[in-house]
Structure 1
Amino acid sequence: MKRFLMKIYFKLPVVLQDIAVSIYGLLLYQQRYTGIYKKYLKKYAANTHENVKREIRIQNLKFLYLLHYAAAASPFYKELYKDINLNQIKSVEDIGKLPILTKDMLRENIDRIYTIPKRKSLIFFTGGTTGIPLKVRKRKKDVRKRMAYLDAYKLTFGFRNNRMKSARFFGKKIVEENPRKPIFWRNNYISRQRLYSTYHLTEENLAYYVADLNRYKPASIDGFVSAIYCIARYMESNGIKPTFTPKAVFTTSETVLPYHRETIERVFGCSLSDQYASNEGAPFIVQCRCGSYHEAIDTGVFEHLERDGRTSLLVTGFDTIGTPLIRYDIGDVILPLSGKKSCACGSCHPIIEGISGREAAFLMTGKGQISQVQLSVLISSLSKRIVQMQFIQKKDGSLHIIAIPSLEEKGKASPKAYEQLYLALRDFLGSEVNIVLEYRDSPYLLKSGKFQLILKEEWLER
């Protein structure tokens, strides 16, 4: 049915596609921004998170409610906790007495984890980056509370969602593969959003994106940082100034690397604020106006698990009543922070240095493991010639490296330039690993539309 509707949609003229997108936007608005949404937006916007005792009390109450609800309403948790005296778990400090929920456990038992019927839930799909996407059931009230929390966070930057214009770069296929006209965006008039396709962001098309952004003049830009970076870098390289200053650039779903942040903030003249959550319902990590990453303990519990030299996250999400996630090993890695205990923004929520990304997103080379942050140093040194890079770890241990040259550099492409780039990569990655270097017009994207700096060969095969 969905494929049939999309075939019809792509046959419509752009103006009717805008109407279709807006009708869908109205459906999402009814699901996400009605009912208790306004009540919780007001509540969350008024909370500055300055009172430590109050925040811990809220966290404990929400945790104990979720725990006892899941044990009573979910057949899976009822069995998982059958040998545990839940009355001995008095607060978040006792959470270590509970078993860890792995991705395999979630996938294999999803039908027994649900606590609400399909007809009473909203369905969300996990990204499926390293596995098969799952259907997660959520109560409407929980979805509205999460939207209110997200919008209250954006209000701290002066942006009011649904009231101010936003430009969004995301992974839905809203434009046909080869459009007749270079119009790579569609409008959701209901939420005052202009949705930009990330699937058509080639060097040849970037001028159209930039010109439209300058016409539209959004109050915020949000979505995939890789896409927004491509826009910012193109503007800077071509001496194009934005005709607007956003309240902020809000990013999510992809790892923000230093060169992303530096370029985007320099070009648009505003803060880049990163935010972490997940379709499964992971609690929020938000970057405040002072630049600190805060673990929002009123939305869940964050546990830091040290393994293989990295800090992995276990999450417990308070808004996962329909599909409870308690001590869920989500597969993401964070960068812990030592020393800094407080932030000038006034929030008492714990601070981390940043979000490193997927646990599997590390390259294995002759020099050992290399992270995305380390690779960003290499990419920054090559930024005058290369727009974007991507590193694909093959099953045999070799590396397939994608390089997207700038339009100017593409015209100067020569065997000597190729050899210089290859030698720079060889010097950085070590001589022990086999490297295949390929020039392309665009990188590989995941099915979700996300760009990932480091990919595993098997992910592309799914």
Structure 2
Amino acid sequence: MKSHLPERLYLASPIWLQNTIVSLYGRVEHKRRYGGAHNSFLEHLRENRLLSFEENKTLQKKLLRSILTNAKNNVPAYEHLRSRQPELANFPLLGRQRVADNIEQFVSREFNPKNLLALYTGGSSASPLKVYISKATRQKTYSFWQSFYDYMDFNIGDRKASFVGRKLQAPDDNRPPFWRYNITDKQLLFSSYHLEEANIPHYVEKLNAFKPKIIEGYPFSIYRIAEYILNHSITLSFIPNGISTSSENFSVRQREVIEKAFKSKVFDQYGSAESVVFASECQHGTMHIEPEYGVLEVLTESGDITSTGRGELIATTLLNEAMPLIRYRIGDFGTVIEDSCACGRETYVLREIHGKVGAVIVNEGRQVPTAAIAIAFEYLEGIKNAQIIQNQPSAVTVKLVKKPDFNPKSEKFMIWELRKMLGDSLKIDIEYVNDIPPEANGKYKMVVQNFQK
């Protein structure tokens, strides 16, 4: 169970000290992300960006053979496979719950878990999952991010404004500043939990003063700023190179509002904490699936598994040898096509993604989206699944499905996280249930909003 003590100490500190803490943490993270294998692998990605489709296929096939062979020989969950040279078709579909219930079985014997990094994800279904990766894999992951930033002519160290799920100050504290500064990366982190109408002018004023080269974060948070700018006919004193969005679906209209307000293009990114897929939009709006990050298949309505088509997305990592998830049911639906693009890239392309649905929980003017709510469920111990339902203002019901190793502290942990986002006035009722059924489309919905339609 993650401890809240560091966050409590941070929140109790004066703002100048909070900025110092953010910068020190940013310095540590910078070394972890951009050291080691990062630069050489980034150069490799840039050199391979314009490979032909056939060259990408050949490269991906080589990487896939390596990851499958290593998995069969070194990962307990796959050792029952008999084929000497395993093919992807030899591996069964892998559900999230099976991994969550048997984490150690999916860790390669070539790695000591004590030397690995643990990533936690609540996902869009709020089924907690821990995934191990090596330090080198993490550095390579951020090489893909920098390759994506290339579309916006942005490099780490250029000024960046971030609207993500960090808890920068108590949710009931409506006094600016609603941002903290990471001096190492010249990153201004904005709170996504204080975007009430009365507070947004402070955000706009700070953005004008900071003049970031890009803005990144949850689409819903950025959209609220953009909507305010247009509604009040505000002229910004800067034009960012791009708006980088991730973690949530958003509508065509919301994209148009963001692009009109900031006079800049939106570049969306699709990925997962499980390190199985990375796709991102180029300057022509094409969502390229990175061929060296993972293999994406489609489970169609007829039950066939194909490389292209429309259906449930099935992902296989090519990057994470420490805990290789193969044919992993990522929980999203979409369409995969084979395409070439005006940007010069020839890759598989992802379209019509249906997942990470952007419902919100509201309380006293705050609107917290699904991607941020997911953080409250990431570290829960002994919880199989969770769902938060809002039927009226200032009150929610949280449904929890317990596992045999349920830890009663999980409930207190989750409530503390939710109040940290939505304030102490939020009424939270806990309901323990035997199961949380999926929606009609087969997706498990983490946030159900019946109050604000």
- Please state whether the residue corresponding to 1:275 is helix, strand or coil: strand
1:446 Cα shift?
A: 7.8
Partners of 2:167 and 2:302 lie apart in 1 by 37
Partners of 1:448 and 1:101 lie apart in 2 by 34
Task: Select which of 348, 354, 368 maps to 1:356.
Answer: 354
Which residue of the partner structure matches residue 27 of structure 1?
28
Residue-by-residue CA offset, 1:342-387 (whole Å, 9 max, x unaligned):
21011110123232214xx5xxxxxxxxxx8xx9xxxxxxxxxx99
Structure (1 or 2) with the greater helix fraction: 1
| Structure 2 contact 124–355 (Cα < 8 Å) conserved | no
- Alignment-mate amino acid for residue 13 of structure 1: P
Task: Select which of 268, 292, 295 maps to 1:274.
Answer: 268
- Alignment-mate amino acid for residue 342 of structure 1: S
- The answer to whether structure 1 residue 49 and structure 2 residue 41 are counterparts is no
- Please state whether the residue corresponding to 1:341 is helix, strand or coil: strand
Normalising by structure 1, report the TM-score: 0.75
Task: Select which of 344, 347, 362 maps to 2:345.
Answer: 347
Partners of 2:369 and 2:22 lie apart in 1 by 32
Residue-by-residue CA offset, 1:85-135 (whole Å, 9 max, x unaligned):
142x4xxxx422321111121111112111232321111111243243222
Q: Residues 181-196 of structure 1: matches in 2 within 5 Å? A: 181-196=175-190
Normalising by structure 2, report the TM-score: 0.76
Residue-by-residue CA offset, 1:308-343 (whole Å, 9 max, x unaligned):
996110001112212111000010111445xx8321
Which residue of the partner structure matches residue 106 of structure 1?
99
Which residue of the partner structure matches residue 234 of structure 1?
228
| Structure 1 contact 171–449 (Cα < 8 Å) conserved | no
- The answer to whether structure 1 residue 220 and structure 2 residue 221 are counterparts is no
Which residue of the partner structure matches residue 160 of structure 1?
155
Task: Select which of 116, 125, 128 maps to 1:130.
Answer: 125
- Taking a change above 3 Å as real, the CA distance of residues 57 and 287 of structure 1, as seen in their structure-2 partners, is same
- The answer to whether structure 1 residue 15 and structure 2 residue 9 are counterparts is no
| Structure 1 contact 288–294 (Cα < 8 Å) conserved | yes
- The answer to whether structure 1 residue 145 and structure 2 residue 140 are counterparts is yes
Partners of 2:279 and 2:137 lie apart in 1 by 17
| Structure 2 contact 96–329 (Cα < 8 Å) conserved | yes
- Taking a change above 3 Å as real, the CA distance of residues 341 and 118 of structure 1, as seen in their structure-2 partners, is closer
1:390 Cα shift?
A: 8.8
- Please state whether the residue corresponding to 1:323 is helix, strand or coil: coil
- Taking a change above 3 Å as real, the CA distance of residues 207 and 332 of structure 1, as seen in their structure-2 partners, is same
Which residue of the partner structure matches residue 440 of structure 2?
none
Partners of 1:270 and 1:121 lie apart in 2 by 39
| Structure 1, 104-113 or 47-56: larger mean CA deviation | 47-56
Which residue of the partner structure matches residue 305 of structure 1?
299
Which residue of the partner structure matches residue 328 of structure 1?
328
Gaps of 5+ in 2: 304-309, 360-364, 371-385, 394-416, 423-442
Structure (1 or 2) with the greater strand fraction: 2
Structure possessing the higher radius of gyration over alpha carbons: 1
Partners of 2:420 and 2:285 lie apart in 1 by 28
Residue-by-residue CA offset, 1:418-451 (whole Å, 9 max, x unaligned):
xxxxxxxxxxxxxxxxxxxxxxxxxxx989979x
| Number of corresponding residues | 376
1:170 Cα shift?
A: 0.6
RMSD: 3.2
- Please state whether the residue corresponding to 2:147 is helix, strand or coil: helix
1:205 Cα shift?
A: 1.1
- Please state whether the residue corresponding to 2:300 is helix, strand or coil: strand
- Alignment-mate amino acid for residue 344 of structure 2: G
1:165 Cα shift?
A: 0.5
Which residue of the partner structure matches residue 314 of structure 1?
314
Partners of 2:227 and 2:368 lie apart in 1 by 14
| Structure 2 contact 193–368 (Cα < 8 Å) conserved | no
| Structure 2 contact 124–445 (Cα < 8 Å) conserved | no
| Structure 1 contact 130–459 (Cα < 8 Å) conserved | no
Partners of 2:126 and 2:354 lie apart in 1 by 19
- Taking a change above 3 Å as real, the CA distance of residues 458 and 256 of structure 1, as seen in their structure-2 partners, is closer
- Please state whether the residue corresponding to 2:323 is helix, strand or coil: coil
Partners of 2:14 and 2:153 lie apart in 1 by 35
Partners of 1:354 and 1:159 lie apart in 2 by 27
1:264 Cα shift?
A: 0.7
Partners of 1:63 and 1:160 lie apart in 2 by 30
- Taking a change above 3 Å as real, the CA distance of residues 13 and 355 of structure 1, as seen in their structure-2 partners, is same
Q: Residues 427-446 of structure 1: matches in 2 within 5 Å? A: none
Partners of 2:335 and 2:141 lie apart in 1 by 24
- The answer to whether structure 1 residue 121 and structure 2 residue 119 are counterparts is no
Task: Select which of 184, 196, 200 maps to 1:202.
Answer: 196
Percent of pairs identical after alignment? Answer: 29
